């Protein structure tokens, strides 16, 4: 017996909705911050100390509650001893991949 709600269908008309794009960007940004922080063994409190934020503010960033701005990207990259990498197409277009924003260790000089 198949009901009306047996599978999830993406509403293609709403993919370009600016609010949805902003949410996806913030979530990808937060995931990138979390991934780099975890990779270098920092706690949220440690990162907060480096940024001048409290642990709750860092958590909000990592959970996608903060819109990624250029200024915030720079501050976090510096705090994570990293370079910011943005994939071709950039993080501000519909259909972003999960690698749209990432923080990589500084390249050796």
Query: CATH says 17-104 is which class?
Result: mainly alpha
Q: Please, what is the angle between helix 55-62 and helix 44-51, to 10°?
A: 100
- pTM for this structure? 0.73
**pLDDT confidence bin for 2, thresholds 50/70/90:** low
Q: What is the mean pLDDT of the chain?
A: 79
| Gap between the Cα atoms of 62 and 58, Å rounded | 6
* pLDDT at site 86: 72
Q: Quickly state the pLDDT bin for 15 (edges 50, 70, 90).
A: low
- Give the pLDDT confidence of 37-80 residue by residue, as tens digits: 999 999 999 999 999 999 999 999 999 998 778 888 889 999 99
């Amino acid at each position: 017996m198949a009901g009306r709600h047996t599978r999830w269908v993406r509403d293609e008309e709403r993919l370009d909705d600016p609010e949805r794009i902003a949410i996806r960007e913030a979530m990808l940004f937060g995931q990138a911050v979390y991934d780099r922080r975890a990779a270098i063994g920092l706690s949220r409190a440690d990162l907060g100390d480096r940024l001048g934020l409290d642990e709750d503010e860092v958590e909000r960033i990592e959970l996608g509650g903060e819109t990624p701005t250029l200024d915030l990207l720079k501050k976090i990259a510096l705090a994570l001893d990293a370079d910011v990498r943005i994939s071709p197409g950039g993080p501000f277009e519909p259909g972003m991949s999960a690698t749209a924003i990432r923080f990589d260790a500084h390249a050796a000089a």
